[in-house]
Amino acid sequence: MNILFVHNEYGKFSGEESAFYSQVEAVRKTKNIVFTYVITAKDTPNSIFSMLKALCSGVFSFKQFYKIFRTVKVNRIDIVHFHNIYPWFSISSLIAAKLAGAKIVLTLHNFKHICPSSTLTHEGKVYLRSLKKGAFATVVDNVQGNIFKSIGYYFRFLSERLFKLDNIVDKFIFVSEMQYDIYKQYNTNIVKKSMVIPNFLTSDKINEIQKHKLKEVREINIGFVGRLCKEKGFDLFIDIAKTLNKYKFYAYGPTAMPLKHLPTNLYTEGNISQSELFVQYAKLDILIIPSNNYETFSLAALEALTAGLDVIVTDKIGISRYSELFDSLYVVDKVSDIYLVVEQIVAKKNRTNRTNRTKIDYLFTEKGYLEMILKIYGELK
């Protein structure tokens, strides 16, 4: 069985990139796959010309149509597994792979295939108007904070409908039950041919994360991982740090909002490498993901749990649906409840040591992922 992976990177390393390369690494280890090939694109549009080019490519890319068609034909690819396809691949790449004779799998890492707002957020708040009133509401409300980008997302959305994405793809993959439930409300065609396979950690990553010795609990360190912006709930994290000022707070990720009047107990460490992040996990006690907006899974939460941290998430985060599988995962439906949960965790830590690691359920391991994805590949071939 020959597999082609296709992914458009975001320019800066993200959770989606981590998930993508983990999947490629896992599949390459199995003897069931004869040939694995990867095509990625990562140029970030910056100039007016490149943005116009990206807009056109996002609607239909003739260049990538030819490239994908030829790759599938020459290498006799059986299955093309797509991840992010914007802006450089677009639906044209899926059409090309289909016409070349391959079966199509598409992993849905976000919500952009049911709503051009992509994350179902606008100005740091949950945004569902375009799902209820129509996709053009995304342009009217300028949900990307840039009218040019909003129009581009809208045309990509229309392109998917025109060329019938639902019919081209043979199997859709959701990365959490929460994401599946949201899609189910707005696109039953996608749900009919879908399966939920949660994000996972490879064996190598689990070993790398857990090789770092956890610090002794003397003072409580609380962390945040991700872009420092309202969509990720960083404004709420700042408020939590101000209120719980007897603890130290650390934020890891690129700055994407004005940072003024930060509390003195909050330290922004900037965008660090994944390996360095694994080192930092061992220095933390608690990771908080306070977003009131939707996030399909949260690899950072899974990594932190693997490292032995207590993790607090809102019920808008995909991993929240698996709380029964983790003793150290706490789910709140209101951000205001986080304060109480932090104090409960701290009280517990004062009575216990940190030598015990959270057991990672089979569902989130490399073996668990391979069992499910190889079943899909086998059925399609």
pLDDT tens for each residue of 66-110: 999 999 999 999 999 999 999 999 999 999 999 999 999 999 999
Instruction: Give dist(CA 204, CA 22) in Å, integer.
Output: 10
pLDDT band at 217, cuts 50/70/90?
Answer: low
As a whole number of angstroms, the distance between CA 229 and CA 255 comes to 7
- Strands annotated E in the chain: 2-8, 35-41, 79-82, 103-108, 121-122, 125-126, 171-174, 194-196, 221-225, 248-252, 266-268, 286-289, 310-314, 329-332
- Of 145 and 128, the one with more pLDDT: 128
Structural contact between residues 199 and 364, judged by C-beta atoms closer than 8 angstroms: yes
Give φ, ψ of 92 to 5 degrees. Answer: -60, -35
Given this model, what pLDDT does residue 14 score?
79
Q: What is the pTM of this model?
A: 0.93
Kindly calculate the radius of gyration of the chain based on its CA atoms and give it in whole angstroms: 21
- Which of the residue ranges 30-39, 94-103, 229-238 would you say has the lowest mean pLDDT? 30-39
How many other C-beta atoms are found inside a 10 Å radius of the C-beta of residue 269? Answer: 15
Average pLDDT estimate for 244-256 = 94
Place of tokens 């490292």: 307
- In Å, the largest CA–CA distance within the chain is 62
**In this predicted model, what pLDDT tens digit does every residue of 299-311 receive, in sequence order?**
999 999 999 999 9
The pair of three-digit structure tokens given for residue 10, joined into one six-digit string = 């975001």
Mean pLDDT of 151-163: 94
Domains and CATH numbers, the chain: 2-200+365-380 (3.40.50.2000), 203-361 (3.40.50.2000)
Q: How far is Cα 228 from Cα 251, in angstroms, rounded to an integer? A: 8
Q: CB within 8 A of 163, min separation 6: which ones?
A: 91, 95
Q: What is the pLDDT of residue 141?
A: 93
Residue type, 337: D
CA distance 1 to 81: 13
Q: How confident is the model at residue 160 (pLDDT cuts 50, 70, 90)?
A: very high
**Predicted confidence band at 352 (pLDDT cuts at 50, 70, 90)?**
low
DSSP letters spanning 232-284: GTHHHHHHHHHHTTTSEEEEES-B-S---S--TTEEE--S--HHHHHHHHTT-
Separation CA 357–CA 144 (nearest Å): 40
> Are the beta carbons of 194 and 375 closer than 8 angstroms?
no
